[in-house]
Amino acid sequence: MTGRLNSAQPYALGLFRIVIGLLFACHGAASLFGVLGGAAGGGTVEAGTWPGWYAAVIQLVGGGLVALGLGTRAAAFISSGSMAYAYFKVHQPEALWPLQNDGEASAIFCWAMLLLVFTGSGALGLDRLFASRGERADGGKDKEASERTPVAA
């Protein structure tokens, strides 16, 4: 049983990455373009306002890159940091626990993105596609890169 689960791990991680990235991008799109119910209370955030507009741009771009699996670690690192900032600067001063201060989404996205920083894109990501093209261009000389696994079991 463990062997089967371990062999499916890169695919489960890839699906996790896609779902988290799409959900994160949807938050940014809602704030920037007013789609999917708009920003909190409806509407959009005003361009250039701190921190809302910048957070929305990070959410849209970072979420899109994470969903595609393109530059996953860097995009997830920046996204995680923006959610940590959102939690501690916006939500945490209201109350101690995320359930009390409406900071659950920020906390969950922060930790999910931080996980992706350490695991990478998993299967189904453009990172792997470009990495495999680079290996073929080297003529297979970079054996160390092909032997790496995205997640240690």
Per residue in 54-113, pLDDT (tens digit) is 999 999 999 999 999 999 999 999 999 999 999 999 999 999 899 999 999 999 999 999
Burial (0-12, 13-18, 19+ Cβ within 10 Å), 61 = middle
Give yes or no for residue 41 having a pLDDT over 80: no
Q: What letter represents residue 24's amino acid?
A: F
Question: pLDDT for 96-136, tens place per residue?
Answer: 899 999 999 999 999 999 999 999 998 888 888 777 777 66
Query: What's residue 140's pLDDT?
Result: 54
**Which tokens go with 64?**
């899109």
Q: End-to-end distance of the chain based on CA atoms, in angstroms?
A: 14
